[in-house]
């Protein structure tokens, strides 16, 4: 991987973007990942049921890693119940879990009829999309290991085109953190009822703008700059950050809808806090 440790987040993102294709190729061609990809391609066509998937450890682990669920690989019983469920049933386990990765796994794999049918696994286009997702997830994780803010920004870029409501944002901790930061909304807002949060954010930003890549990049840039300011030594000297801190301190347990004017921050050069 290309090292980005120590770089300001805007500069790190530029370097990551410039080397993205090279890094994806490096991941896909590495011995470990190339072997996993070859095994997936060879055996996924034989997966028709959830039971088939759980019985093939290599293919199962591959798709779990593709959806950033490596930490759940050993929870086969839970995963099986999720994938065999009916998403149209409000009582189904998939609708009671709060982890958005599980829903992505469920919809991405596409099992039907109680987990006994799957029309995707024999589709070459679906197979290659899964391989691409596996490689990209490893790419994102590698960047996040060096700079967590970069990792969140990359996840947001990938998720943005699929976001249609504020609930899609608020159910994901990283996405909601990015939007709160970029829009200048205090972190204390996360303590509010989720419906009230959605109403507040809807007044701040038109969620349909996330279909515009330019709008997505504006949010990413704001998030990167403000996150660096909040976490760096320059934060103590930033008037905008002081405003946020003082506002939060003065709330005394009650919610006051105070937000930041971030125009001054986001108009600064890409790396102003060195």
CA–CA distance from 257 to each of 175, 191, 247 (Å)?
20, 13, 10
Decide: helix, strand or coil at residue 91: coil
Max CA pair span of the chain: 60
Confidence check: pLDDT of 236 > 50: no
* Neighbour-count burial of 71, counting CB atoms closer than 10 A to its CB (0-12 exposed, 13-18 middle, 19+ buried): exposed
As a whole number, mean pLDDT of residues 193-219 equals: 97
Residue at 153 is within a domain? yes
Residue with tokens 């990938």: 158
Instruction: Please give the mean pLDDT across all residues of the chain.
Output: 88
Instruction: For residue 56, give the CATH number of its domain.
Output: 1.10.3700.10
Number of structural domains the chain divides into: 2
Instruction: Say how many Å lie between the first and final Cα of the chain, rounded.
Output: 24
CB 66 within 8 A of CB 81: no
* Sign of the alpha-carbon dihedral angle for 234, 236, 242, 248: positive
* Tens digit of each residue's pLDDT (9 = 90 or more) over 161-178: 999 999 999 999 999 999
Residue at 39 is within a domain? yes
Residues 96, 173 share a domain: no
Residues 107, 68 share a domain: yes
Q: Which residues contact 150 (CB under 8 A, 6 or more apart)?
A: 4, 9, 12, 13, 16, 143, 144, 224
Q: What is the value of pTM for the model shown?
A: 0.82
CB 70 within 8 A of CB 64: yes
CB 135 within 8 A of CB 28: yes
Residues 243, 199 share a domain: yes
Q: Where are the alpha helices (DSSP H) in 48-170?
A: 50-55, 57-66, 76-84, 100-109, 124-146, 148-159, 166-170
Residues 58, 154 share a domain: no
Residues 81, 15 share a domain: yes
Q: Which of 1-5, 91-95, 122-126, 152-156 is predicted with the least confidence, judged by mean pLDDT?
A: 1-5
Residue at 173 is within a domain? yes
Q: Which of 131, 163, 183 is the last residue of a domain?
A: 131
Residue at 4 is within a domain? no
* Tens digit of each residue's pLDDT (9 = 90 or more) over 86-118: 999 999 999 999 899 999 999 999 999 999 999
Confidence check: pLDDT of 265 > 80: no
Residues 20, 93 share a domain: yes
pLDDT at 232: 76
Residues 113, 58 share a domain: yes
Residues 159, 114 share a domain: no
As a whole number, mean pLDDT of residues 135-160 equals: 97
Residues 186, 110 share a domain: no
Residue at 30 is within a domain? yes
Residue at 2 is within a domain? no
Q: Structural domain of residue 222, as residue ranges?
A: 148-266
CB 153 within 8 A of CB 224: yes
Residue with tokens 């490596």: 70
Residue at 14 is within a domain? yes
pLDDT at 247: 46
The tokens for 152 are 């969140």
Q: What DSSP element (H or E) covers 26?
A: helix 9-29
Top-confidence residue, 234 or 62: 62
Confidence check: pLDDT of 267 > 90: no
pLDDT at 233: 34
CB 170 within 8 A of CB 194: yes
Residues 159, 71 share a domain: no
Residue with tokens 């105070």: 258
Confidence check: pLDDT of 239 > 80: no
Q: Which of 77, 99, 131 is the last residue of a domain?
A: 131
Q: Which residues contact 59 (CB under 8 A, 6 or more apart)?
A: 39, 40, 43, 44, 47, 53
Residues 115, 83 share a domain: yes
Residue at 33 is within a domain? yes
Residues 99, 50 share a domain: yes
Decide: helix, strand or coil at residue 118: strand
Q: Which residues contact 41 (CB under 8 A, 6 or more apart)?
A: 127, 131
CB 136 within 8 A of CB 158: yes
């Amino acid at each position: 991987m290309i090292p980005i440790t120590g770089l300001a987040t805007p500069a790190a993102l530029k370097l990551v973007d410039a080397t993205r294709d090279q890094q994806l190729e490096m991941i896909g061609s590495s011995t470990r990942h190339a072997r996993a990809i070859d095994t997936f391609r060879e055996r996924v066509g034989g997966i028709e049921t959830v039971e088939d998937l759980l019985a093939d450890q290599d293919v199962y682990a591959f798709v779990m890693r593709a959806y950033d669920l490596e930490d759940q690989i050993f929870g086969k019983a839970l995963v099986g119940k999720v994938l065999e469920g009916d998403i149209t049933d409000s009582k189904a386990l998939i609708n009671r879990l709060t982890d958005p990765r599980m829903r992505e796994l469920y919809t991405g794999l596409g099992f039907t009829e109680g987990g006994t049918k799957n029309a995707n696994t024999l589709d070459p286009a679906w197979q290659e999309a899964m391989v691409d997702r596996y490689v990209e997830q490893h790419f994102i994780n590698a960047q996040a290991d060096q700079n967590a803010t970069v990792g969140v920004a990359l996840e947001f870029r990938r998720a943005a085109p699929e976001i249609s409501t504020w609930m899609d944002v608020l159910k994901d901790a990283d996405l909601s953190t990015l939007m709160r930061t970029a829009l200048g909304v205090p972190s204390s807002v996360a303590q509010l009822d989720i419906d009230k949060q959605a109403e507040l954010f809807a007044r701040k930003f038109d969620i349909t703008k996330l279909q515009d890549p330019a709008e997505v990049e504006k949010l990413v840039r704001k998030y990167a700059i403000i996150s660096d300011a909040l976490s760096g030594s320059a934060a103590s000297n930033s008037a905008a950050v002081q405003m946020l801190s003082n506002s939060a301190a003065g709330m005394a347990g009650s919610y006051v809808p105070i937000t930041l004017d971030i125009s001054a921050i986001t108009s600064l050069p890409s790396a102003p806090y060195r």
